[in-house]
Structure 1
Amino acid sequence: MDNASFIASLLAGAAAGTSTDLAFFPIDTLKTRLQAVGGFFANGGYFGVYRGLGSAVVASAPSASLFFITYDGMKGYSRPLFDQLMPLNSQMAETATHMFSSSLGEISACMVRVPAEVIKQRTQTHKSDSSWQTLVKLLRNQNGEGIRRNLYRGWSTTIMREIPFTCIQFPLYEFLKKKWALAANCDHVAAWQGSFCGCLAGGVAAATTTPLDVLKTRLMLSQTSVPVLKLARKIYATEGWRTFFSGVGPRTIWISAGGAIFLGVYEAVHSVLA
């Protein structure tokens, strides 16, 4: 990746992440409260839906920039490798490239996103604490598990959620863009067309990975570490299988609309800078 492409991915990713989080934060709050132990109204209901916005905004730009720098960079590096591994199937090589690159992008972004998510979700379900107060409590290490464990609680489950999500979203997003461009007999789709493709791809990925999102939310809200499988069995035994799809409506709506803005803004800014 040359300097111009690096800067384009950096700035386009930052703009995309910040605009999406600002626009759809209330829906994310409603989704978190639906998934939390005790249910929606016990965790705040419709009040204070912007609680935790500070941590989200601070992390939006760097996490999205990290994702797109890694994603765009790895597409160029890994495509020749997959072409060699799959010489007879160009479409499969392209899909594998997007899955591999987006997975590495998500892992990079989670270095920033996970601590911000922990702070954000605890603030969303707390009736008085601000994002700063939540951060201070985590840094005090009151549970004795260490600052790293407190800030990165739910790291493994977030990765477990993000990799399947991105392996569905980005290959589908790139496939839809490619087909639309071919149908229109042009090299690239317009920003609004990329936005529509992002909306559809994001909705499909969001609905499919909701159970993993529920587990991630419960782990981040837990005061102590809990093994993922043990938590899943406990939820199934005490609350039933439908709990794994708690918040599927808000999550799908939020990520569908968010995907439209996120990838639409990215396409628009990147086309100007690249």
Structure 2
Amino acid sequence: MSTAIGMEAVVAAAAGATLSVDFLIHPMDTLITRMQSPMYTTQYKSVNGAVSRTLFLGLYQGFGPTIITSIPSSAAFFTIYEGLKGYSLRAKEEGRFAGVPLPVLYGASGAAASLVSCAITNPAEVLKQNAQVYRGGSGSGSGTSPTMDTLRRFAKQPTKLWAGYTALVASDLPNTTLTFCLYETLKERFLGGEGKSQERSAPQQVLASGLCAAAAGSASSSLFVPIDVVKTRMRLAAGGEVTGENGSSKTSSSSSRAKIGPIAVARGIILKEGVRGLFRGATVTVLAAGFGGGLYIGCYEAIKIYLS
């Protein structure tokens, strides 16, 4: 990614990439949420253990909150990332951070940008994932919007929209750091350094960026599936609390936090489902990360090059 560009181009490229990719990836994201949910074996599997057709119904449930927040969060992420990346390049040229490889600095830049992005996206992610497993959703004939019904229920306890934030940060920071460290390393091997990459044609830059991002995204996401499962369970547990499904809504806040804390959730999964329970949906997660990451970065680079 070139750093000698205006922030307007970065924001526009991030927004364009987000709109393009979210529409294609959301169905896979819905499948992942349903496979990682505690209701998977009862709600999305038949009596004989075969996958039920309900798993594939309403795959765009929860799409609204995703679009509303993904554009500003992506714009914030890449604005911070590109800014810190440019600072890292200048610092290296001035002799600072001499012992630190550039890909590591890029990974740290991605982690810093991810902190801001997570704060923007978490409430929408909670709404989205609860809408994705909404029991009165598409195909039920109820006419009720899963997203709007979920939003109305969370309006009674808005603090629950921050459920899973600790797990999100715990997975997203190291995941983003590793992803961008791998991505920049692979891209440098394919295209050369920051100066040499500009000598390549635009299609070559876009293709190399997309392939490198796909490889980096799928590799790093495979390591963080357990945290992703815990994060999903925490968010769905919050949805159960605001609807009374996981117990009385009069439960004290301290006991609620203990019930859906990340360590308690992970322990509960292992006790009930074994270690395999922490790797629910791993295959789809890796495929989605590779396909989505490659397409996202590819679109981002293509739009950015065009605007530059």
**TM-score when scaled to structure 1?**
0.89
Q: Secondary structure of the residue that 1:216 maps to in structure 2?
A: helix
SS in 1 for 2:222: helix
The CA deviation at 1:255 is 1.1
Question: Would you say the 8 A contact 1:30–1:40 is kept in 2?
Answer: no
Q: Does 1:215 align with 2:230?
A: yes
- Residue aligning to 1:159: 169
- Cα gap change, 1:4/1:193 in structure 2, threshold over 3 Å: closer, same or farther? closer
Cα distance in 1, alignment partners of residues 197 and 11 from structure 2: 23
- Is 1:256 equivalent to 2:271 in the alignment? no
User: Displacement, 1:71?
Assistant: 0.7
Match of 2:128 among 117, 120, 131: 120
Q: Does 1:178 align with 2:188?
A: yes
Choose from 53, 73, 83 the match for 1:63: 73
Structure 2 unpaired stretches of 5+:
45-53, 137-144, 199-203, 242-255
Q: In the alignment, is residue 169 of structure 1 matched against residue 184 of structure 2?
A: no
Counterpart Cα distance in 1 of 2:117 and 2:278 = 25
Equivalent residues in 2 for 1:1-274, closer than 5 Å: 5-39=6-40, 42=43, 44-79=54-89, 86-87=97-98, 89=99, 92-128=100-136, 129-141=145-157, 147=158, 149-182=159-192, 186-188=196-198, 189-222=204-237, 223=241, 224-225=256-257, 226-274=260-308
TM-score (norm 2): 0.79
Contact kept, 8 Å, 1:79 with 1:93, in 2: the verdict is: no
C-alpha offsets along residues 34-71 of structure 1, whole Å, 9 cap, x if unaligned? Answer: 00012156154121111111111222211111110111
Same amino acid, percent of matched pairs? 28
Structure-2 separation of matches of 1:34 and 1:40: 9
SS where residue 45 of structure 1 aligns? helix
Q: Which amino acid aligns with 1:99?
A: G
1:92-129 deviation per Cα after TM superposition (whole angstroms, max 9, x unaligned): 33123112110111111112211111000000001225
The DSSP-based 3-state class of the residue aligned with 1:50 is: coil
**Tell me, which stretches of 5 or more residues in structure 1 are unaligned?**
142-146
Output the CA distance in 2 between the equivalents of 1:16 and 1:203: 18
Distance in 2, matches of 1:96 and 1:197, equals: 16
Paired with 1:215 and 1:62, the residues of 2 have a C-alpha distance of 26
> Measured at CA, do residues 218 and 19 of structure 1 come closer, stay the same or move farther in structure 2, by a change above 3 Å?
same
Q: 1:138 to 1:77 in 2, by over 3 A?
A: same
Equivalent-residue separation in structure 2 for 1:181 and 1:77 (angstroms): 21
Give the whole-Å Cα distance in 2 for the aligned partners of 1:101 and 1:157: 20
Moved >6 Å (runs of 4+): none
Greater helix fraction, Structure 1 or Structure 2: 1
